[in-house]
Amino acid sequence: MEDWFGFAAALAAFLLSHAIPVRPPVRHWLVKRLSLRGYLFAYSALSLGLLWWLIVEAARAPYVEIIPPHEALRWVPLLTMPAVCFLVVAGMARQNPLSFGGIGTKPFSPDRPGLLAFSRHPLPLAIMLWSIAHMLANGDLAHVILFGLFALFSGAAMHMIDRRKQREMGQTEWQRLSRNTALLSLRGLRRMSVSPLQVVAAALVFAGLLWLHPVVIGVSPMP
């Protein structure tokens, strides 16, 4: 059991960091003192730091095979991560009153929702895709727990955010803003405008992740 202590501690810290700061009284207190941008920056930095710790501890945990290793599965993250990077870059590039993230200066228009025509929750969707891809490529028990929880929480978060936004905005305003968006719709891809600058930025982020992966995580992502 001692071999699992580090992973359990990192997982508990990560879950608590996502349960406490987002509670309305705590969030309002922090935003009042840090500003919204300061809160988002601090929250993101804390999340990334704890995520790194959690991934390191998952690699150190005892190996218990759940998903049999297969060479083809190692390609899944490489094929999925470009789309994940684009969702993150494009999702952060414009304001998004229907979900979290979206701290860019480009305002949201319900008549031209852009990426939100595909999904109004690009960041949770990106986390879910990242999680599933890495769970398949790392099929031991610790990574299945880690990435499986991320995938489940991200999928549930999209529904939870919708309900919270409807409650906060009221049904009339929420329906007005969300009328051309979707929880997830492949048909929305046809109505989605893609900025070449965002594609380039996503490609640079992907290249940076490929370079940093063996440095930060200690494992090359290449098959």
What local confidence, expressed as pLDDT, does residue 2 receive? 56
Tokens of 2: 């001692």
Tokens of 120: 């109004």
- By C-alpha distance, which of 147, 96, 103, 142 is closest to 122? 96
Q: Where are the alpha helices (DSSP H) in the chain?
A: 5-19, 24-34, 36-60, 75-93, 122-137, 141-169, 171-178, 196-216
Task: Give every residue of the chain whose pLDDT is below 70, as ranges.
Answer: 1-2, 101-103
Distance CA 121, CA 57 (A): 29
What local confidence, expressed as pLDDT, does residue 204 receive? 96
What local confidence, expressed as pLDDT, does residue 120 receive? 93
Is residue 128 a contact partner of residue 148, using CB atoms and an 8 Å limit? no
What local confidence, expressed as pLDDT, does residue 158 receive? 93
Half-sphere exposure of 88 (CA within 13 A, CB side): 19
What local confidence, expressed as pLDDT, does residue 122 receive? 93
Tokens of 44: 């993101």
Instruction: Give the model confidence (pLDDT) of 83-107 as tens digits.
Output: 999 999 988 888 899 997 666 777 8
What local confidence, expressed as pLDDT, does residue 101 receive? 67
pTM for the model: 0.85
Domain ranges in the chain?
A: 1-62, 65-223
